[in-house]
Amino acid sequence: MEASASIHSGIGKNSAGTELSVSGMTCNNCARHVTEAIQDVAGVQSASVSLQQSRASVRWNSAGAKNVSAILAAVAQAGYNAKETFPEKLDGSESQPSRWPWSLLLGLTVTAVLMAGEWGFHLTMTPWFQWHAFALAGVVQVFAGAQFYRGAWRQLKIGSSNMDTLVALGSTIAFGYSTWALLSGAGGHLYFMEAAAIISLISAGHWIEARVSDRASGALKSLLNLAPQTARRLQNIAPVQPKQFDLRSFKPAAAVQTREVEVPVSELKIGDHVALRPGDRVPVDGIAVEGESAVDEAMLTGESIPTNKKSGSELFAGTMNLNGQLVLRVTATGEATALAHIIAAVQCAQTSRANIQRLGDRISNVFVPVIIGIALAAGIFWAIHSGAEKALVIASGILIVACPCAMGLATPAAIMAAANTAARRGILIRDGVALEKAGHITAVIFDKTGTLTMGKPVLAETLAVQGPKSYVQSLAAALAHFSTHPISQAIAKISTEQIKFSDWKEIRGYGVEANLQPSTANPQPPIAKMRLGSLNWVRETGVDLAAGEKFIAELSAQGATIVALASANSLLGLFAVRDELKPNAAQVVARLQRQDLKTFLLTGDNALTAASIAKQVGIMTENVHAEVRPEQKVEFVKQLQAQGERVAFVGDGINDAPALTQADLGIAVSRASDVAREAADIILLKSEIEAVPEALGLARATLRTIKQNLFWAFFYNALGVPLAACGIISPIFCAAAMGFSDLIVIGNALRLLRWRQK
CA of 365: how far to CAs of 77, 164, 166, 370, 721, in Å? Answer: 16, 14, 13, 10, 17
Q: How far apart are CA 403 and CA 735, in angstroms?
A: 9
CA of 620: how far to CAs of 8, 529, 617, 625, in Å? Answer: 51, 39, 9, 11
List all residues 6 or more positions away from 150 whose beta carbon is below 8 Å from its beta carbon: 24, 164
Write b or e for each residue in 330-354: b if 16 or more Cβ atoms lie within 10 A of its Cβ, otherwise e: bbbbbbbbbbbbbbbbbbbbbbbbb
DSSP codes, 409-444: HHHHHHHHHHHHHHHHTTEEE--HHHHHHHTT--EE
Write b or e for each residue in 391-428: b if 16 or more Cβ atoms lie within 10 A of its Cβ, otherwise e: bbbbbbbbbbbbbbbbbbbbbbbbbbbbbbbbbbbbbb
Q: How far apart are CA 745 and CA 561, in angstroms?
A: 52
Q: What is the CA radius of gyration of the chain?
A: 33
State the alpha helices, DSSP H only, in 249-355. Answer: 298-301, 338-350
Nearest to 394 by CA among 165, 731, 164: 731
Instruction: Please state the separation of Cα 422 from the chain's center in Å.
Output: 8
Q: Which long-range contacts (CB under 8 A, 24 or more apart) does 726-730 make?
A: 727/382, 727/390, 727/393, 727/394, 727/397, 729/397, 729/401, 730/194, 730/393, 730/397
Phi and psi at 393, nearest 5°, equal: -65, -45
Strands (E), 80-189: 81-85
Q: Check if the beta carbon of residue 503 is closer than 8 Å to that of residue 515.
A: yes
**Helix, strand or coil for residue 91?**
coil
**Known catalytic residue at 579:** no
CA angle 90, 8, 330 (to 5 degrees): 150
**Helix, strand or coil for residue 518?**
coil
Phi and psi at 692, nearest 5°, equal: -65, -55
**How many CB atoms are closer than 10 A to CB 289?**
13
**Residue 22 C-beta-side C-alpha neighbours within 13 Å:** 37
Q: What is the DSSP letter of 262?
A: E
Q: Which of 164, 447, 656, 742 is catalytic?
A: 447
Q: What is the DSSP letter of 468?
A: -
List all residues 6 or more positions away from 353 whose beta carbon is below 8 Å from its beta carbon: 36, 361, 411, 412, 432, 433
Q: Which residues are catalytic?
A: 447
